[in-house]
């Protein structure tokens, strides 16, 4: 496949994904389902392969962000329920029906437009919908019990829909302070209290909610970051059970040279050798998602930390080696090497971001190898 002509690659441990899902399925309350969140190409891990591993771990459905991501799963042969978490333009309702996709309803207007559209295309197939409640995320969804009641009544007044779900999303489930989480939970309870009947799925949990607020309402969890083996809180809250990181990032040295003191490295000559130094060149750069702010971060060669020296280029970067090292020696940028480990969290810390963003930034130019 394209991309296999460079030693740089992401290696995805599908067994880890399966185990992370399996561990959560085992501890979920009886009758709860796990939908694997595989949006953004499976947080950079590969959506289809992640979905297949998640099924082996006990996932019974999937969440994606875009219609296109849902179609990709269907065309790969995934037959389980797929919920599109964002708003899909009503002009694409025919595709939602064709691919048997569940879609989020976040406003009354959208639903009214959908009814017009469904009248227009004269379909016999009902559209599966999940009603989104915004209890405090401030993103999409209904905000009052009255509004939810009204939209439910409209849904139930036609034959166009299968009301499959009602859900909300927490913005602080991964924090120690539970005040805002509690406020959102109460708002969701207020919504439930005005509804006479409930749909098949009532779901509120992202990974953090599932891990640290397991007794919350709902019969389905939307499991994302923890499935990839990453702590939703970063370091703020302890893991409830061991999460096994699934992603490693490797490359190899393509050139090794000894420079005398006073030699410049990289664009802008921002690094100058201070003594005789062994410098290695690695074929990965910011076009791969290995971003420039990682200058000064260390990677592993033969278990030794080697600092990235000089500015990271588009396709290459340079590291300082402890000694003469053979061209072709493996470089571990994320993962284990000779008992040492570099984690996605460490990369996120250096980039002053979260590991979700690090994982999603790895570009398509890097092949994903599955084991
Ligand atoms: C509605 C919804 N449900 C579940 C998840 C899964 O969350 P988890 O990966 O923490 O388990 C997300 C992730 N959404 C995002 C994660 O980072 N930015 C986001 O918008 C989401 O937006």
Nearest partner of 308 among 321, 298, 323, judged by Cα? 298
Mean pLDDT computed over 60-82: 98
The DSSP code for 35 is E
Cα separations (Å) of 165 from 84, 103, 133, 199? Answer: 12, 9, 11, 5
In sequence order, what DSSP letters do the residues of 105-143 get, joined into one string? E--HHHHHHHHHHHHHHT-SSPEEEEEEE-SSS-SSSB-
Measured from the Cβ of residue 215, the count of other Cβ atoms closer than 10 Å reads: 5
Question: E strands, 277-316, where?
Answer: 277-282, 298-301, 304-309
- Ligand 1 centroid–CA 273 distance in Å is 44
Report whether pLDDT(367) > 80: yes
Per-residue model confidence as pLDDT tens digits over 148-201? 999 999 999 999 999 999 999 999 999 999 999 999 999 999 999 999 999 999
Per-residue model confidence as pLDDT tens digits over 103-135? 999 999 999 999 999 999 877 899 999 999 999
Indicate which residues carry an active-site annotation.
Answer: 39, 267
Is 63 within 8 Å of 73 (Cβ atoms)?
Answer: no
What is the per-residue pLDDT for 122?
Answer: 78
What is the per-residue pLDDT for 200?
Answer: 98
* Cα-only R_g, the chain: 24
Nearest partner of 258 among 233, 278, 244, judged by Cα? 278
How many Å apart are CA 331 and CA 148, to the nearest integer? 54
Residues flanking ligand 1, CB < 6 Å? 37, 63, 85, 169, 206-208, 222-225, 232, 356
What is the per-residue pLDDT for 3?
Answer: 52
Which tokens hold the place of 76?
A: 């790969």
Cα separations (Å) of 222 from 21, 84, 126, 364? Answer: 11, 12, 24, 25
Q: What are phi and psi of 255, to 5 degrees?
A: -155, 145
Is 329 within 8 Å of 253 (Cβ atoms)?
Answer: yes
Lowest mean pLDDT among 3-7, 282-286, 324-328: 3-7
Cα separations (Å) of 38 from 43, 139, 147? Answer: 7, 20, 30
This prediction has a pTM of: 0.97
Strands 330-337 and 298-301: antiparallel
Report whether pLDDT(2) > 90: no
**pLDDT over 70 percentage in the chain:** 99
Nearest partner of 224 among 11, 6, 69, judged by Cα? 69
- Ligand 1 centroid–CA 40 distance in Å is 11
Mean pLDDT computed over 46-52: 98
Pocket test for ligand 1, best of 239, 356, 361 (most atoms within 8 A of CB): 356
Report whether pLDDT(1) > 60: no
Per-residue model confidence as pLDDT tens digits over 270-310? 999 999 999 999 999 999 999 999 999 999 999 999 999 99
DSSP H helical segments within 227-343, as ranges?
A: none
Tell me the angle at which helices 108-121 and 145-156 cross, rounded to the nearest 10 degrees: 10
Pocket test for ligand 1, best of 36, 130, 169 (most atoms within 8 A of CB): 169
The sign of the CA dihedral 43, 48, 52, 55 is positive
In sequence order, what DSSP letters do the residues of 209-262 get, joined into one string? HHHH-TTSS-SEEEE-GGGGT--TTTTSS--SS-----EEEEEE-SEEEEE-TT
The DSSP code for 244 is -
> What is the CA angle 328-334-336, rounded to 5?
80
Residue reference for tokens 């690695």: 282
The DSSP code for 198 is -
What is the per-residue pLDDT for 28?
Answer: 94
- Ligand 1 centroid–CA 170 distance in Å is 9
What is the per-residue pLDDT for 264?
Answer: 98
What is the per-residue pLDDT for 123?
Answer: 79
- Residue closest by Cα to atom 16 of ligand 1: 356
**pLDDT over 90 percentage in the chain:** 96
What is the per-residue pLDDT for 124?
Answer: 85
- Ligand 1 centroid–CA 224 distance in Å is 7
On average, the pLDDT of the chain sits at: 97
How many Å apart are CA 265 and CA 272, to the nearest integer? 6
The sign of the CA dihedral 216, 220, 221, 227 is positive
Burial category of 121 from C-beta neighbours within 10 Å (exposed 0-12, middle 13-18, buried 19 and up): exposed
What is the per-residue pLDDT for 217?
Answer: 84
210 CA closest ligand 1 atom index: 11
354 CA closest ligand 1 atom index: 17
């Amino acid at each position: 496949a394209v991309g296999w002509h460079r030693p740089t690659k992401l290696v995805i441990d599908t067994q880890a994904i399966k185990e992370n899902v399996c561990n959560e399925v085992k501890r979920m309350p009886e009758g709860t389902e796990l939908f694997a969140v595989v949006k953004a190409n499976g947080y950079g891990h590969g959506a289809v392969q992640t979905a297949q591993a998640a099924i082996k771990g006990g996932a019974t459905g999937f969440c994606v962000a875009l219609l296109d991501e849902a179609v990709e799963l269907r065309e790969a042969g995934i037959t389980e329920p797929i919920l599109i978490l964002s708003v899909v333009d009503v002009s694409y309702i025919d595709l939602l029906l064709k691919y048997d996709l569940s879609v989020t309803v976040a406003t009354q207007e959208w639903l009214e437009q959908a009814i017009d559209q469904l009248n227009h295309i004269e379909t016999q197939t009902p559209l599966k919908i999940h009603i989104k409640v915004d209890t405090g995320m401030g993103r999409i969804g209904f905000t009052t019990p009255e509004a939810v009641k009204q939209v439910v009544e409209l849904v139930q007044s036609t034959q166009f829909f299968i009301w499959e779900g009602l859900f909300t999303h927490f913005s602080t489930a991964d924090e120690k302070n539970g005040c805002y989480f509690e406020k959102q939970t109460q708002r969701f309870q207020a919504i439930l209290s005005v509804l006479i009947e409930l749909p098949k799925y009532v779901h509120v949990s992202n990974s953090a909610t599932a891990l640290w607020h397991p007794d919350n309402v709902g019969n389905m969890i939307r499991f994302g970051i923890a499935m990839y083996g990453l702590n939703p809180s970063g370091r703020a809250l302890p893991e409830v059970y061991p999460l096994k990181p699934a992603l490693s990032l490797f490359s190899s040295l393509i050139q090794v040279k000894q420079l005398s003191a006073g030699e410049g490295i990289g664009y802008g000559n921002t690094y100058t050798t201070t003594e005789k130094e062994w410098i290695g060149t690695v074929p990965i750069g910011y076009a791969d998602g290995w971003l420039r702010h990682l200058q000064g971060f260390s990677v592993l060669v033969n278990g030794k930390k080697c600092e990235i020296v000089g500015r990271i280029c588009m396709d290459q970067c340079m590291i300082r080696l402890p000694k003469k090292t053979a061209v072709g020696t493996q470089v571990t940028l994320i993962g284990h090497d000779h008992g040492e480990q570099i984690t996605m969290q460490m990369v996120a810390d250096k980039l002053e971001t979260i590991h979700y963003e690090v994982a999603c930034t790895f570009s398509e130019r890097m092949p994903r190898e599955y084991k």
